[in-house]
C-alpha cells in the first residue's frame, strides 16, 4: 500500500515540475500578505453565513481559495516560517511567551523584506511582530522593513496596548504615543499614510499582520452592533465582530491599491497564522483547534487574489498543498532575487515556489513531504506531524478540548465537546479521503505508519544546535522578565529592546 502511495506521489511531483514552466510568474508585482491572528477555518463568510466579511468573500470569489494551506499550530513559528522560508523547527517552534523570553528569530536569516529590498521594493509592516524584541537587532526595521507600526510582542489589550509590565506600541525605532485607541483603527490610519506617500510605479510590499482576532476578545460597539444578540454566547459575538474588523482593514488596503492603479499588478495573499482558538474560533468542519496538529490547528483559512492572477484560476478552489514557508521562495522569484539563504548556523530554505499552483498550471504540491512540526525528547518522538502523499502522521498527545466537529459554524456554542481519542503516541489519517480526521489508520495501516514515522524521525539526525536555535522545550527558554520590566519602567513604561545590539544595524550591514 505504501509503495503505491509513494509511487503516486512521485508521479504528482513529476507532473508538477513539468507544469511549472507553463505560465511565467509576474515580474515585480506589488505584494500584500495579510495574516489574520487565530482565525478559524470556519470563520469567514464564504464558509459561514453568520460571519460578515464582504471583502474576504470578494477576494476569495474573484481569486483562488487555497484550501490546503498549512501553517504551524500557534503564532510565532508560523510568522517565522513566512519570514524565513523555513519549516518551523528549522526556524523556531517556540512561541515567545512570556514576552520577555530572551530570544527571537535567528539573526543569521536573510528574511523576506530584506530579500525584496534587494529587488528595489519598498517594504512595510503593520501590526504584530512576535519575532523578537530583546535588542535592536530584532526590530523589523533592522531586518529589512523600511517602516513598521504595531506591536513587538505576541498579544496585548486591543485598546490600551498593555501587556505584562508595559505598553507595547511601536513605530520604526521608538515607542508610538498613539496607544489608547483600538489598534485596528490606528492601523487604518497607517495604511492611509503609506499609500499617500507611495509612488505606484515602485514595487510595494506590505505585511499586514493583524492583531484581530487574537484574545483578548474586544470590539468597538459599532462592530458589535452588526451582530444581533442571539443564541450565540457573548464571546462568540465579539469574535465575529473582530473578524469583520479584520475584513475592513483589508478592504481599505484593496481600496488604495485600486485608487492608485496598482491592483492590476498586485498579488494579495490572506491567511490565518493557525486555527481558531480553543472554544472560541470555529474550525468547522475540520477537527481540532489552535495548539493541535489536527487539521483544525494547522490547515489555515487562506486565499490569494489580485490582478496578476490568470483569468483561468479566478473563482476556483485549489487543493494543492502549500506551506506558509513557500511564500518566501515564491515572492523572491517574482521579485527576481535568489531565494537561496545558506550559510553557517542556519538551515537552507525549505519553501517551494507555488506560482504553478496559483497560476493553475498544476493543482499539486512540489513538496515530497511537509514536516508540520518536529520535536523529540530523549530520542523518543514527542509531538509533531508530517504529511507524505495523501497521509498525515501526528505524533504525541494533542490535548484538544473543543472539537469543532461537534459544532456547526453559524451558532458556535462556545462550549467544550466530549473528550475524544487522542494521538498517544500516534495517529495516521488519509487527509484526502478523510479530511475531518475521523478514522485513525495507525493500527490498520502499519506499513504506511512505519514509513511515515521513519521519514519523521530522520529529522532527528539533523544538527541539534541548529534546530530551534538549540532550544527544544518551551519551559527551558531563558526568561529575563525582571530585567526587562525594570528597563521598561525606567524608560517611559513602553516595551522596547532592553539589551544592547549584538551587531551593526541593518543599514550599516548593506
Per-residue pLDDT tens digits for 86-143: 999 999 888 877 777 777 899 999 999 999 999 999 999 999 999 999 999 999 999 9
Instruction: Tell me the average pLDDT across 401-416.
Output: 72
The pLDDT tens digits of the residues spanning 465-475 come to: 788 877 776 67
101: Cβ contacts below 8 Å, ≥ 6 apart? 94, 477, 478, 479
Instruction: Tell me the average pLDDT across 204-208.
Output: 98
Instruction: Tell me the average pLDDT across 172-198.
Output: 96
Instruction: Tell me the average pLDDT across 259-283.
Output: 95
Q: Which three cell numbers stand for residue 174?
A: 521608538
Whole-prediction pTM value? 0.92
SS3 content of the chain, % helix, strand, coil (to 5): 35, 15, 50
Q: Which residue has the cell 530551534?
A: 468
Instruction: Give percent above pLDDT 70 in the chain.
Output: 90
Alpha-carbon span 194 to 253, nearest angstrom: 10
Confidence at residue 103, expressed as pLDDT on a 0 to 100 scale: 78
Lowest mean pLDDT among 13-27, 152-166, 291-305, 439-453: 13-27
Please count the helices (runs of H) and the strands (runs of E) in the chain. 14, 21
Instruction: Tell me the average pLDDT across 344-368.
Output: 92
Banded model confidence at residue 6, pLDDT cuts 50, 70, 90: very low
Lowest mean pLDDT among 87-96, 310-319, 374-383: 374-383
Instruction: Tell me the chain's radius of gyration from C-alpha atoms.
Output: 22
Instruction: Tell me the average pLDDT across 439-459.
Output: 96
Confidence at residue 413, expressed as pLDDT on a 0 to 100 scale: 65
In this model, does residue 256 exceed pLDDT 70? Answer: yes
What would the DSSP string read from start to end of 343-379?
Answer: -TTSPPP-----HHHHTTS-SS-S-S-EEEE--EETT
Structure-model confidence comparison of residues 348 and 408, the more confident one: 348
Q: What are phi and psi of 487, to 5 degrees?
A: -65, -45
Instruction: Tell me the average pLDDT across 485-507.
Output: 80
466 touches 347 (CB < 8 A): yes
Confidence at residue 464, expressed as pLDDT on a 0 to 100 scale: 79
Rounded to the nearest integer, the mean pLDDT of the chain is 89
Alpha-carbon span 151 to 183, nearest angstrom: 10
SS3 80: helix
The pLDDT tens digits of the residues spanning 45-77 come to: 999 999 999 999 999 999 999 999 999 999 999
Confidence at residue 422, expressed as pLDDT on a 0 to 100 scale: 85
SS3 39: coil
Amino acid at each position: 500500500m505504501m509503495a503505491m502511495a509513494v509511487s503516486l506521489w512521485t508521479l504528482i511531483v513529476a507532473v508538477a515540475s513539468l507544469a511549472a514552466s507553463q505560465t511565467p510568474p509576474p515580474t515585480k508585482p506589488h505584494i500584500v500578505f495579510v495574516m489574520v491572528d487565530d482565525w478559524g477555518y470556519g470563520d469567514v463568510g464564504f464558509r459561514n453565513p453568520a460571519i460578515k466579511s464582504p471583502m474576504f468573500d470578494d477576494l476569495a470569489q474573484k481569486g483562488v481559495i487555497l484550501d490546503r494551506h498549512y501553517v504551524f499550530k500557534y503564532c510565532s513559528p508560523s510568522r517565522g516560517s513566512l519570514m524565513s522560508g523555513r519549516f518551523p523547527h528549522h526556524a523556531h517552534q517556540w512561541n515567545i511567551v512570556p514576552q520577555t523570553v530572551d530570544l527571537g528569530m535567528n539573526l543569521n536569516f536573510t528574511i523576506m523584506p530584506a530579500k525584496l529590498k534587494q529587488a528595489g521594493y519598498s517594504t512595510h509592516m503593520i501590526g504584530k511582530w512576535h519575532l523578537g524584541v530583546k535588542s535592536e537587532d530584532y526590530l523589523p526595521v533592522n531586518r529589512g522593513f523600511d517602516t513598521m507600526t504595531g506591536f513587538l510582542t505576541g498579544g496585548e489589550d486591543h485598546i490600551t496596548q498593555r501587556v505584562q509590565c508595559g505598553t507595547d506600541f511601536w513605530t520604526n525605532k521608538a515607542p508610538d504615543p498613539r496607544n489608547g485607541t483600538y489598534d485596528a483603527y490606528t492601523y487604518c490610519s497607517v495604511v492611509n499614510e503609506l499609500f499617500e506617500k507611495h509612488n505606484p510605479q515602485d514595487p510595494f510590499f506590505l505585511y499586514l499582520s493583524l492583531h484581530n482576532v487574537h484574545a483578548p476578545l474586544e470590539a468597538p460597539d459599532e462592530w458589535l452592533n452588526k451582530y444581533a444578540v442571539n443564541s450565540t454566547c457573548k464571546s462568540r459575538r465579539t469574535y465575529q465582530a473582530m473578524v469583520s474588523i479584520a475584513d475592513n482593514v483589508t478592504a481599505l488596503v484593496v481600496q488604495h491599491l485600486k485608487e492608485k492603479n496598482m491592483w492590476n499588478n498586485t498579488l494579495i495573499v490572506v491567511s490565518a497564522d493557525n486555527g481558531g482558538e480553543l472554544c472560541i474560533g470555529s474550525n468547522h468542519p475540520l477537527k481540532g483547534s489552535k495548539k493541535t496538529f489536527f487539521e483544525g490547528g494547522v490547515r489555515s483559512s487562506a486565499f490569494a487574489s489580485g490582478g496578476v492572477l490568470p483569468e483561468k484560476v479566478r473563482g476556483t478552489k485549489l487543493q494543492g498543498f502549500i506551506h506558509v514557508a513557500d511564500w518566501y521562495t515564491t515572492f523572491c522569484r517574482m521579485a527576481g532575487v535568489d531565494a537561496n539563504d545558506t550559510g553557517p548556523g542556519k538551515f537552507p530554505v525549505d519553501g517551494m515556489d507555488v506560482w504553478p499552483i496559483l497560476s493553475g498550471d498544476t493543482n499539486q504540491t512540489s513538496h515530497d513531504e511537509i514536516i508540520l512540526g518536529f520535536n523529540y525528547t530523549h530520542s523518543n518522538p514527542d509531538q509533531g506531524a508530517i504529511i507524505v502523499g495523501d497521509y498525515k502522521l501526528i505524533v504525541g498527545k494533542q490535548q484538544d478540548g473543543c472539537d469543532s466537529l461537534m459544532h456547526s459554524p453559524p451558532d458556535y456554542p462556545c462550549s467544550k465537546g466530549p473528550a475524544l481519542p487522542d494521538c498517544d503516541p500516534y495517529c495516521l489519517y488519509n487527509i484526502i479521503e478523510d479530511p475531518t480526521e475521523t478514522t485513525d489508520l495507525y493500527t490498520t495501516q502499519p506499513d504506511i505508519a512505519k514509513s511515515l514515522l521513519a521519514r519523521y524521525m530522520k529529522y532527528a539526525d539533523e544538527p541539534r544546535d541548529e534546530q530551534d536555535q538549540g532550544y527544544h522545550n518551551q519551559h527551558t527558554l531563558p526568561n529575563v522578565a525582571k530585567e526587562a520590566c525594570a528597563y521598561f519602567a525606567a524608560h517611559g513604561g513602553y516595551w522596547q529592546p532592553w539589551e544592547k545590539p549584538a551587531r551593526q544595524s541593518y543599514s550599516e550591514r548593506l
